[in-house]
Amino acid sequence: MQIFKNKVILITGANRGIGQSFVKALLNSEARKIYVTCRDLKKMPAFDADRIVPLQLDITDDKQVAMTAITASDTEILINNAGTLSPGNMLQGNLSGMENDLKVNYFGTIKMMRAFAPILIKNKPSLLINIVSIAAYSPLPSIAGYAASKAALYSATQSVRIELAKKDVSVYAVNPGAIDTDMNKGSDWNMPDPDSIAIKILESIALGKLDIVPDDMGQGMYAAWRDEPAKLSKIFSDLYHGENYAI
Ligand SMILES: NC(=O)c1ccc[n+]([C@@H]2O[C@H](COP(=O)([O-])OP(=O)(O)OC[C@H]3O[C@@H](n4cnc5c(N)ncnc54)[C@H](OP(=O)(O)O)[C@@H]3O)[C@@H](O)[C@H]2O)c1
């Protein structure tokens, strides 16, 4: 994957899950420097390479975002991977969980895009990669707030793609289905592992695909949505047994 060779890359939420898998895959792709960021550096795995630069970064914290942009001003590829998921449906789910998902997934990622847009423009040609979710298209009711935060992020990603189109910054939207990480702990679904998905995502980026659905489950949901969004309601209402409504 030549596109990553000798590049300076920053990844948010790099301490576990898909973020950690990106780091491993990018080390194999001969990236020049990888800023691996996370909220608590004590939780960062030892990646054991001189090219790794760990930084503390909570993407909702304005000061930390600003400091990171100063320290990592040589970034050429930004991977906005950090995210949270609060379960709950739209009509009865916990509102503070929904607000937190918006705060991290939507506003946190916007803060990162705003802080790094001038850097990516300066260091062009550059890449901005947002890890969104298939939930942006297909809101499973048991994670309705998360889905709404990802739909908002998907919209923001498309706006920024246009805003940066003439600046030589390519903006990617990655919309996976369910992947076997802590985010899906306890689920009995048959899910792909994050290492293989991270490689698939990077391969698609290398091919210049701006909209990426890297897994079979995501592809199926995307196809149903593209055909007719109401079809997803049918699939999900068969899967979803719902909360009990007080009538
Ligand atoms: N797994 C899936 O099925 C799936 C599907 C589609 C999309 N995605 C998206 O893929 C991305 C990675 O998810 P994952 O499955 O790898 O989840 P994960 O294993 O739960 O990891 C989430 C990562 O985000 C970090 N994070 C959370 N809040 C943060 C904040 N305010 N600032 C900085 N970092 C923060 C976490 O850090 P801490 O360790 O400090 O909590 C952790 O590193 C997310 O955006 C997720 O929405 C996942």
Average pLDDT over the chain, rounded to an integer: 95
pLDDT digits (tens, 9 = 90+) for 102-121: 999 999 999 999 999 999 99
For residue 217, how far is its CA from the centre of ligand 1 (angstroms)?
19
pLDDT digits (tens, 9 = 90+) for 9-67: 999 999 999 999 999 999 999 999 999 999 999 999 999 889 999 999 999 999 999 99
Give the closest residue (by CA) to ligand 1 atom 43.
Answer: 13
pLDDT of residue 47: 94
pLDDT of residue 227: 94
For residue 82, how far is its CA from the centre of ligand 1 (angstroms)?
4
pLDDT of residue 9: 98
Q: What is the DSSP string of the chain?
A: -GGGTT-EEEESSTTSHHHHHHHHHHHHTT-SEEEEEES-GGG------TTEEEEE--TT-HHHHHHHHHHTTT-SEEEE-------B-TTTS-HHHHHHHIIIIIIIHHHHHHHHHHHHHHT-SEEEEEE--GGGTS--TTBHHHHHHHHHHHHHHHHHHHHTGGGTEEEEEE-----SSGGGTT--S----HHHHHHHHHHHHHTT-SEE--SHHHHHHHHHHHH-HHHHHHHHHHH---PPP--
* Domain chopping of the chain, boundaries: 2-239
Superfamily of domain 2-239: NAD(P)-binding Rossmann-like Domain (3.40.50.720)
pLDDT of residue 34: 98
Over residues 58-83, the mean pLDDT reads 98
Which ligand 1 atom is the nearest neighbour of the CA of 134? 6
